[in-house]
A and B are shown apart, each in its own frame.
Chain A
C-alpha cells in the first residue's frame, strides 16, 4: 500500500528554488529538508569564517555545528526584517567562535594574521551565486587593503582574532582609547570604500 502523504510538502527540487526567508518559515515548523538547503547554501561561508577565526579544522567544525544547530533550534528568533539569513548565520558563527577562542587559554589563541592555515580549499560550488560571492570577497579584501595598517590590524585582531579591545591595547602596547579610535576610523573608512549600498547588500 502506498504510504500516506502528510501534506502537500515541497519536494527537494522546489525547496532549492525557495528564498532563504521562505525556507526559514519551514525550518521553524521543523522541516529538516528545508534546513538542509539552508545548510548547503551557507555552510562554506560559515566554515570559512570559523576556520579563519579558530585556525583548526576540528574546532571550526564544532563552531559550525553549534551555530547551525542553534539556527535549527532557535529558528523562530530569526527576523527577516533585521537582515539576511546568511548574515544571521555568520553572526552566530562569529559569536560562537569568539566564545571558543575566549574559552581556550590566551596563549592558545591564534593570531589573526592567517598563519597556520595550510589547507585552503576552493568551495566546490560554482554557481552564479558563488561567483558573485567571490567577487564580493575580492571587493572586501580590496577595501581592507586600502586601510592604514594600524587600523587594519585592530580590526583583524578584534573581528577575526576574537581579542577584546583591552587585550589588543596590551598586545600592541597602545592606549585603549587609541585602539578604539582606530577601530572606529577603520570601520568608517571601510564603509566609505565599500559604499553604503554595497555594504548593505551583504547585510
Chain B
C-alpha cells in the first residue's frame, strides 16, 4: 500500500512542528513520580521523537484518561506491515504534537474531511501519548519476522483464578492512548482507526480513567485504595530492554507491555469490613500507609514483622513486592487505569475494574514472577482477570522520517 495524500499532509505538518513552528510551549516535564510544577495539561505536548516511546514513563496527573485498543492485523505481507507502522507513526506524531494537521494548503476539505473536529479546529496536544505494542502474532513467517521475535514474547498464559474471555484477550497490535482528557483519547483512536481500516481491525477496546489525588498522593483504585504508590524510577534499569537483556538488537530501547483486564467485584467488596479490606491489601484505606506505617510513602518493615502480625503474609502488597534482594528485580512499572463499561453483568453487577498495565524488561522475571507470588491471595475472591495480552513495545523513533518497529525489518 502506498502512502496516501493524507499521510503526505501529516508528514508536512510534522516537519513544521519539528522545525519549531508550532506555537505550543513544551515545559520540561518531571519524569516518573509526581513532579513539581503543574503546567496546563492542554498545552503540554509530549515530544514524540526519542530513544524510547514517549508514553511509557509519564506523570499520572497529566494523563487522566486512557484508551487501550488491541487489533488483529489484516495486512498479509512484510510491505503491508511496514505501511501500517508508517501510517501509525505519522499519525501518532501529528496527534501528539497537537496540530496544524488541518491547516496548511491545500485544505483537505477539497476531498473530504481530514479531522473529526471533535477537538475543534485547532487540535490541542493535551499531553497525548500513543504507545504501540506488538503481539506474538506479528513475529511469524508471514511478515518474515519469525527470527526477530523477542525472547519471552508469548501469548498470555492462563493464570490460576483467571476467567479468560476470548473477546477480550490477545491481539497482534495494541495502542495505549493516554491524555489529559477523554475527548482527546476518543479523537486519537478515531483518527488512528480511520487511517488503518483496511490494515487492521479491532479485537477489543476499553477506556480508562484516573482519579486525581483523594485528597493527596497516589490516585485511588475502585477498591478505594491508593494504587501505584511504588513504581521503579527510570534509572533503576527495570523497564527498558538494553543490550544486556538477551533480546534482538532491534528491541533495545523498547520494553514489554503486559495488560490485564481485571473485573473488580465492587458490590461484594463494599460488603467487606474495612479491617478485613486493610488486611487483604496491607495498607490503611484512608491514608494509604502500609499497616506498620503512618504515611503512604512509608516503607513496610517486613523483617520486623516476620509472622505477619501487622501486615499479613498474604497481604497483596507483601506478596507483590516482598522487598527482598531476590525479588528486587521483579519490580515493574505500573500504568494502570480504572474502567467502567457501559451496561452491566448478567447478574446486574456493574462492569468495572482495573486495566492493569505494566512495563518491564522481562515478562517472565517480572510480571509472571509477581503474578505467581500472588496466586491464591485473599484478594482473589474479589477480582476476575478476564482479558489482556502480552506485547513488545518497540523503541522510540529517534529521528523524523523513521517509523515505529523499523528496526525489526533490518
Question: Are A and B co-members of a single complex?
Answer: no
B residues lining the A interface (CB < 8 Å) = none
